[in-house]
Amino acid sequence: MTPPSSTTLGVREDFPFLAARSGQIYLDSGATSQPPRVVLDAQRDFTETAYAAVHRGSSAATGSATGAFERARTRVAGFVGAADDEIVWTENATDALNVLTWSLTDATLSGEGALVLGPGDEIVVTEAEHHANLIPWQRLAARTGAILRAVPVDDAGLWSVDAMAGVVTERTRVIAFAHVSNVTGFIAPVSDVVDLAARTGAVTVLDACQSAPHRPLDLHGLGVDFAAFSAHKMLGPTGIGVLYGRSELLNALPPGRTGGSAITSVTLERAEFLPAPHRFEPGTQPVVQAVGFGAAVDYLDAIGMSAVAAAEHELAQELVETVSRVDGVRILGPAAGAERAALVSFVVDGVHAHDVGQFLDDRGITVRTGHHCAQPLHRRLGVHATTRASAYVYNDAADIAALGEALGDVRAFFGADR
């Protein structure tokens, strides 16, 4: 790595995708980030020299593979301030939230476990949630008779603790919310929500997909009960994510998915399950991906998450100020000067978001277009789709300037400036 400056961490050369595309500007890390060479090498090395089943059998190969698998868990747990037994491997964050809601369903059906929901109990989300942190709760409410309630957002797409307090009642059992909005870049006041939940005894579920990659994260320090995040948004591979849960809660929940490797004993009538996290990990696990995930958090640790957060704070302001200066462009979320993540979603007057994205792509700038899996939020703000630019460790101020220059040409190209 080359020494970082104010708005660059000097790591672009570590990413084969970018090294192979001279001049390519990748501003879509909010969807999927690029893996550095060390992550690719770690997965290749494991596959070529240590590939074997884990937690099955007593061979030396199995022992070696299991060691690599569990060391990755330890590294990821440490990265987010959790204990090893509080990190459950899942397919991704969406899967993690589904695993949690299915486990809560089983707890309700059996009348046992950490949380039993019933008719009239309430699950609270916000109007800004990603579908992954909305639809599983919709279905849990339908299965248990609970009521799903939503915290409203304002005309900028933001919600407040006061607005949440107006929705939370003594019947609230779950509060699920994003640490950082994948559409607006809004950073949630987690400690205030945890305090609010404590008043009613509700459990908190944090969608950390847009925070774990970009800022220091201490789940114990935050005090949330559950959290979910994905490797592919934090320089790791696809196909693996994490469900975090406080140890006592995970061990009190029945597993929502069952099968081999998650049990202590099985008869034809019943099964007994291992302690967490393995009770939630039946079947063949994503071992290669776990090794890659461990390498990704090692890479981020080597940069330093405080350095990542500081660089992205500057990029966030560059993004807002640059995009705001373009005529005919409206930004969603916090205004210039307000704290936000380094992502900006915007509308170009008279030009559909997909056309904006194609125009930028032709200029060598990769962004995301659409509703970003947040249709209720877009509907509330009166737009069908937006264009989103999201920065990460390999971006710098020059990338943001190039985005602004290209955006300045969009409306004229489509004749929308007449």
The predicted structure's pLDDT at residue 56: 85
Give the position of tokens 């809601």. Answer: 101
Which one of 135, 373, 383, 416 is the catalytic residue?
Answer: 373
The predicted structure's pLDDT at residue 110: 79
pLDDT band at 7 (very low <50, low <70, confident <90, very high): low
Q: Per the structure block, which two tokens stand in for 102? A: 């299915």
Would you mind telling me the total number of residues written for the chain in this entry? 418
For each of the domains in the chain, give its residue range(s) and CATH number, in order of start: 12-30+304-413 (3.90.1150.10), 41-301 (3.40.640.10)
Residues 309-322 pLDDT 10s = 999 999 999 999 99
Give the mean pLDDT of 336-342. 93
Contacts 24+ apart (CB under 8 A), 283-288: 283/259, 284/53, 285/54, 285/55, 285/69, 285/89, 285/261, 286/89, 286/91, 286/239, 286/240, 287/46, 287/51, 287/54, 287/65, 287/68, 287/69, 288/43, 288/46, 288/47, 288/51, 288/237
The predicted structure's pLDDT at residue 335: 87
Distance CA 289, CA 34 (A): 14
Residues 216-250 pLDDT 10s = 999 999 999 999 999 999 999 999 999 999 999 99
Does position 4 have pLDDT exceeding 70, yes or no?
no
Nearest to 314 by CA among 348, 340, 287: 340
The predicted structure's pLDDT at residue 6: 41
Give the mean pLDDT of 57-85. 95
Query: How far is C-alpha 249 from the geometric centre of its chain's CA atoms?
Result: 21
Give the mean pLDDT of 393-407. 97
pLDDT band at 5 (very low <50, low <70, confident <90, very high): very low
The predicted structure's pLDDT at residue 368: 98
Give the mean pLDDT of 354-364. 98
pLDDT band at 70 (very low <50, low <70, confident <90, very high): very high
Does position 151 have pLDDT exceeding 90, yes or no?
yes
pLDDT band at 132 (very low <50, low <70, confident <90, very high): very high
The predicted structure's pLDDT at residue 111: 77
Q: Which of 301 and 106 is assigned the larger pLDDT?
A: 301
Estimate the crossing angle of helix 353-362 against helix 397-413, to 10 degrees: 120
The predicted structure's pLDDT at residue 308: 98
Distance CA 140, CA 220 (A): 26
pLDDT band at 409 (very low <50, low <70, confident <90, very high): very high
Does position 374 have pLDDT exceeding 90, yes or no?
yes
pLDDT band at 114 (very low <50, low <70, confident <90, very high): low
The predicted structure's pLDDT at residue 113: 64
The predicted structure's pLDDT at residue 58: 87
Residue 325 exposure: Cα atoms within 13 Å on the Cβ side: 12
3-state class (DSSP) for residue 368: strand
Average predicted confidence (pLDDT) for the chain: 95
Q: Per the structure block, which two tokens stand in for 357? A: 């994205």
% of the chain at pLDDT higher than 70: 97
Distance CA 393, CA 373 (A): 24
The predicted structure's pLDDT at residue 249: 95
Does position 258 have pLDDT exceeding 60, yes or no?
yes
% of the chain at pLDDT higher than 90: 92
Distance CA 382, CA 47 (A): 48
The predicted structure's pLDDT at residue 137: 98
Give the mean pLDDT of 259-288. 94
Residues 153-184 pLDDT 10s = 999 999 999 999 999 999 999 999 999 999 99
Give the mean pLDDT of 135-161. 97
Does position 115 have pLDDT exceeding 90, yes or no?
no
The predicted structure's pLDDT at residue 285: 95
Helix (H) and strand (E) counts in the chain: 14, 15
Give the mean pLDDT of 176-203. 98
From the number of C-beta atoms within 10 Å of its C-beta (0-12, 13-18, 19+), residue 395 rates as buried
Does position 3 have pLDDT exceeding 80, yes or no?
no
In 252-311 the beta strands, taken as DSSP E runs, fall at: 263-266, 271-273
373 part of the active site: yes
Cα angle 334, 337, 338; round to 5? 40
